[in-house]
């Protein structure tokens, strides 16, 4: 029998097209997702060379980043964003790429629409000019973000020049406590390993706590792999994966479905396979997490004090932490709990799917958000928007005093007009708290939808567990 392999190695081996002497491997790409921000220069490159898109049938586009979340019958007010969205649609049409334009009823965040339409499947290689492509790893796919030159390469050849990454087993065992979520698992991991802790690695998330997660929760975990520096993060497929996929538009049907499932069942890591790196997390010891700083690794349990730069030995590291606290206008030594916030944002490719909206709605139902807080709920796609409305979630949000908007990246990246004002504080369910990420001068605390909803009610950073009794 051959050497036991991890799922990461199996995926790699199955996709090597060629390994020319002295060059990186050519890796075949099964699914290429494109959006308006990182693709225009790639299409321009194709035009300049006079080449076509090799496999439009393996490519899917959507606009999301620069796309307003105001009603779709209104025009895009920002002329530069309008031009970018228009160029995107022109590019996709010209090159024959199926896509969801601004007014398409399936439009949504690129990492939401892939799984939603059954495009993301186990065993695939998936790339996108976007660092959160690891989201698709939740299906047992090798999925990672690429730059615009690489977008052009994949459009032209359906291949990518790649070097093999190291393998990193993140094993999470045990039962999550009440009010502790998938988002808290990933925030706790990044707080432990730091934002560079996974550099050069592909993570496989394993263990009973991961197996217990739903597909949507698994996407939340995989989504933030990049925030730990990892190239990608994935979870071996199982019956939950197949159940999620069955019947979706682009999933295989009939006999092809049975054949696909049989193939997918061979993907999980073999008994006895080893990883380059391993870490263990006890899920039962986790608490709701929140970030206090300007990178996603600067996180603590919501009840825990902000660390003291004075206790950091390395000079640059100390200055970096001081700079973060100065930007955030925070002092060390105290928890964030009770800290006044101006905005609560529930959305982004990390937490904008049905289960996230349901979790937030369960907390907001029959209550009112604090009048000093602007609360925005932004569904990940127009399909999710309709489904949530059919369930009456929009009414719960509106009754609570929150805004219910159209699909897009919105205040996760603040490119579409949804943004914080300088100095404002937000609790956000998105994935990045970098300086200015949610608007110039804005200050972001990253947390779960549950923590975000509880904070909206309190008008301040809150511990959702106090509402759960």
Cβ closest to another protein, residue 179 vs residue 297: 297
Distance between CA 207 and CA 197 in Å, rounded? 20
Distance between CA 256 and CA 275 in Å, rounded? 33
430 binds, among ligand SF4, another protein, none (CB under 5 to 8 A by kind): ligand SF4
169 binds, among another protein, ligand SF4, none (CB under 5 to 8 A by kind): none
Least Å from the CB of residue 135 to another protein? 13
Distance between CA 204 and CA 198 in Å, rounded? 11
Residue 122: exposure state from Cβ atoms within 10 A (0-12, 13-18, ≥19): buried
Least Å from the CB of residue 55 to another protein? 8
Least Å from the CB of residue 11 to ligand SF4? 22
Least Å from the CB of residue 147 to another protein? 4
Classify the C-alpha dihedral 92-98-100-105 as positive or negative: positive
As given in the structure block, the two tokens for residue 231 are 């190239």
As given in the structure block, the two tokens for residue 393 are 């979630």
Cβ closest to another protein, residue 141 vs residue 458: 141
Least Å from the CB of residue 353 to another protein? 19
Least Å from the CB of residue 355 to another protein? 23
Distance between CA 221 and CA 188 in Å, rounded? 11
**CA-atom Rg of the chain in angstroms:** 21
87 binds, among ligand SF4, another protein, none (CB under 5 to 8 A by kind): another protein
| DSSP H or E segment with residue 168 | strand 166-173
Under a CB-based contact definition with an 8 Å cutoff, are residues 403 and 433 in contact?
A: no
Site residues (vs ligand SF4, CB under 6 A): 64-65, 109-111, 130, 132, 348-349, 409, 412-413, 430-431
Length of the chain, in residues? 469
Cβ closest to ligand SF4, residue 432 vs residue 465: 432
351 binds, among another protein, ligand SF4, none (CB under 5 to 8 A by kind): none
From the CB of residue 469, how many other CB atoms can be counted at a distance below 10 Å? 5
User: What are the angstrom distances between the C-alpha of 163 and each of 23, 30, 354?
Assistant: 9, 17, 36
Cβ closest to ligand SF4, residue 412 vs residue 458: 412
From the CB of residue 245, how many other CB atoms can be counted at a distance below 10 Å? 23
Least Å from the CB of residue 352 to ligand SF4? 7
Cβ closest to ligand SF4, residue 136 vs residue 443: 136
349 binds, among another protein, ligand SF4, none (CB under 5 to 8 A by kind): ligand SF4
325 binds, among ligand SF4, another protein, none (CB under 5 to 8 A by kind): none
Distance between CA 209 and CA 199 in Å, rounded? 24
Cβ closest to ligand SF4, residue 7 vs residue 110: 110
17 binds, among ligand SF4, another protein, none (CB under 5 to 8 A by kind): another protein
């Amino acid at each position: 029998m051959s050497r036991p392999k991890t799922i990461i190695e199996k995926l790699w081996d199955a996709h090597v097209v060629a390994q020319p002497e002295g060059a990186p491997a050519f890796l075949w790409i099964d699914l290429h997702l494109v959006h308006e921000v990182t693709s225009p220069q790639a299409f321009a490159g194709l035009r300049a060379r006079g080449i076509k898109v090799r496999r439009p049938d393996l490519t899917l586009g959507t606009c999301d980043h620069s796309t307003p979340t105001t009603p779709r019958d209104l025009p895009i007010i920002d002329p530069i964003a309008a031009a970018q969205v228009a160029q995107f649609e022109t590019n996709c049409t010209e090159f024959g790429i199926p896509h969801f334009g601004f007014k398409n009823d399936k439009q949504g965040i690129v990492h939401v629409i892939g799984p939603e339409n059954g495009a993301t499947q186990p065993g695939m290689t998936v790339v996108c000019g976007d660092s959160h492509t690891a989201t698709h790893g939740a299906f047992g796919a090798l999925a990672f973000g690429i730059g615009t030159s690489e977008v052009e390469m994949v459009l032209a050849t359906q291949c990518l020049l790649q070097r093999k990454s190291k393998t990193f087993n993140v094993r999470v065992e045990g039962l999550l406590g009440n009010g502790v979520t998938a988002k808290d698992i990933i925030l706790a991991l990044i707080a432990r390993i730091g934002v560079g802790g996974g550099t050069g690695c592909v993570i496989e998330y394993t263990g009973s706590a991961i197996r217990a997660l739903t597909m949507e929760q698994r996407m939340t975990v995989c989504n933030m792999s990049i925030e730990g520096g990892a190239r990608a993060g994935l979870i071996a497929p199982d019956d939950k994966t197949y159940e999620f996929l069955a019947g979706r538009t682009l999933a295989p049907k009939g006999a092809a479905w049975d054949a696909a499932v049989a193939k997918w069942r061979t993907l999980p890591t073999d008994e006895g396979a080893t990883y380059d790196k391993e870490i263990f997390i006890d899920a039962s010891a986790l608490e709701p997490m929140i970030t206090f700083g300007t990178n996603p690794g600067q996180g603590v349990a919501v009840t825990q004090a902000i660390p003291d730069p004075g206790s950091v030995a390395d000079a640059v590291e100390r200055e970096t932490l001081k700079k973060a606290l100065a930007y955030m206008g925070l002092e060390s030594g105290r928890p964030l709990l009770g800290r006044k916030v101006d905005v609560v944002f529930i959305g982004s490719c990390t937490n904008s799917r049905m289960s996230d909206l349901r979790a937030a709605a369960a907390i907001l139902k029959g209550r009112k958000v604090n009048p000093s807080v602007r609360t925005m709920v932004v569904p990940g796609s127009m399909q999710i928007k309709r489904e949530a409305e059919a369930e009456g979630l929009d009414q719960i949000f509106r009754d609570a005093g929150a805004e219910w908007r159209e699909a897009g990246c919105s205040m996760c990246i603040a490119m579409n007009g949804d943004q914080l004002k300088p100095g404002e504080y937000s609790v956000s369910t998105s994935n990045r708290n970098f300086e200015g990420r949610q608007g110039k001068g804005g200050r972001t605390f990253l947390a779960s939808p549950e923590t975000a909803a509880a904070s909206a009610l309190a008008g301040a950073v809150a511990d959702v567990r106090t509402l759960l009794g």
